[in-house]
Amino acid sequence: MTAPTPPRPPASGPPSGPPSGPPPGTPPLAGFTPPPAPTGRPVWPPPEATVVTTGVSKSFGSLVAVSEMSFAVGPGVTALLGPNGAGKSTLIRLLCGLTAPSTGEILVAGGNPRFDREARRRLGLVPQQDGVFERERALEVVKLAATLSGLPDPEEQARVALNTVELDPDMKRPVGTFSKGMRQRVKIAQAIVHNPAVLVLDEPLNGLDPRQRRQMIALFHQLGNEGRTVLVSSHVLEEVERFGSHVLVIAKGRLAAQGDFHAIRDLMDDQPLRIRVHCQRPRVVASTLLQGGSVSGVAVTGEDEIEVTTTEVRTFRRAVAVACQVNGARLEEVVPLDDDLESVFRYLVGMGP
């Protein structure tokens, strides 16, 4: 469970700014930087920050999707973590100018992307939705993005971007015939083709297989290490662990916490975590896992599926690989179940575990 550690974004310290974050009474978290509080210090926004929100709220009628959010992030990979419905996608839409905030101010790459074309020129977005131009070839989609970004040789740049995400630029098939993983890579290619200073990705690993996920995470780290701000949203804690050490935790439309990932990881270690394992010979593997003591509970939930409960994730990961190996069972997939995140998020927003 070790993850590459990208350079820590410079804005991870406690910036001053308008009130934001968890409601009064939220327990402080060890290792976590609380969201900015009004201290009166004139350091907002931090000079290195490339993405800054100041008191941003967004309401849809009576529904408050994002509430009084203030944070600043700089170069490197920052994960935006929150359960489904927490307000991550709305926040991403706000950051990219796709919708206007009800109150507050957003600065991305020095401008408001909703109206500032130069800010949009320095911004790349991988939206969550599956749809890409179905009837076009991948090269055409990415070439269009390059052309609209004003690049001098759009086709060449499009080929480079497609090669970066391991797609063949000369593929004749239209995007509509692509698998979900291939579409996802087309979306990433169109977002990076113009070398943006700020790259925003909404659940970019959806639909990718484990090898592609590793490759994409390595790409995000590479982009972050090159000095870009890479903001990646996810509702899967295990993914976020691999994105990087800096996280923004969103819950119920509020910035619940921001700071080092390992603090949330430690918090998770105290929580029982449910994990689904897809493998051959699930009964035998389940029995071996129980005997090994790395799990506190196990249930065979399908022909090739077991579900375990554990508080020792790192130990379990090693144990499940060994259990499959000694029983001659092929290990297909290990999936942490989202429900377990909810307890952490509830804790972060002060509702108790």
Partner 1 sequence: MREIVALYRLLVRQQLTIGRLVLTGAFTGLAILVVVVIARAEDAVTQVESTVNFISVFGLGLMVPILSLVLASSSLGHLVEDETLVYLWIRPNPRWMLAFAAWLASASVAVPVATMPLMVAAAIGTGGDGQATFAVALSMALAAMAYTAIFTLLGLLIRRSLIWGLVYLFIWEFFVARVGQGAARLSINTYPASVLAELTEFELPLAERSLTNGIVVPIVVSVVAVALTGWRLNRANVA
Would you tell me which residues interact with partner 1 (CB under 8 A)? 93, 96-100, 113, 115, 117-118, 120-121, 123, 125, 127, 129, 131-136, 140-141, 143-145, 147-150, 190
Of 97 and 104, the one with the shorter C-beta distance to partner 1 is: 97
Give the whole-angstrom CA distance, residue 236 versus residue 338: 6
**In whole angstroms, how close is the CB of 212 to partner 1 at the nearest point?**
21
Give the whole-angstrom CA distance, residue 94 versus residue 107: 10
Helices first, then strands: H and E counts in the chain: 11, 14
Of 81 and 94, the one with the shorter C-beta distance to partner 1 is: 94
**In whole angstroms, how close is the CB of 146 to partner 1 at the nearest point?**
9
**In whole angstroms, how close is the CB of 147 to partner 1 at the nearest point?**
4
Q: Are 331 and 301 in contact (CB under 8 A)?
A: no
Give the whole-angstrom CA distance, residue 73 versus residue 246: 9
Give the whole-angstrom CA distance, residue 319 versus residue 163: 36
Of 147 and 225, the one with the shorter C-beta distance to partner 1 is: 147
Of 62 and 129, the one with the shorter C-beta distance to partner 1 is: 129
**In whole angstroms, how close is the CB of 64 to partner 1 at the nearest point?**
16
Q: Which helix (H) or strand (E) holds 263?
A: helix 261-269
**In whole angstroms, how close is the CB of 152 to partner 1 at the nearest point?**
11
Give the whole-angstrom CA distance, residue 311 versus residue 271: 6
**In whole angstroms, how close is the CB of 214 to partner 1 at the nearest point?**
26
**In whole angstroms, how close is the CB of 101 to partner 1 at the nearest point?**
12
Of 100 and 218, the one with the shorter C-beta distance to partner 1 is: 100
Report DSSP state, residue 118. H
**In whole angstroms, how close is the CB of 135 to partner 1 at the nearest point?**
6
Of 186 and 298, the one with the shorter C-beta distance to partner 1 is: 186
Give the whole-angstrom CA distance, residue 284 versus residue 331: 13
Give the whole-angstrom CA distance, residue 196 versus residue 250: 25
Of 24 and 135, the one with the shorter C-beta distance to partner 1 is: 135
What would the DSSP string read from start to end of 187-236?
A: HHHHHHTT--SEEEEESTTTT--HHHHHHHHHHHHHHHHTT-EEEEEES-
Q: Are 152 and 225 in contact (CB under 8 A)?
A: no
Give the whole-angstrom CA distance, residue 308 versus residue 195: 42
Of 123 and 264, the one with the shorter C-beta distance to partner 1 is: 123
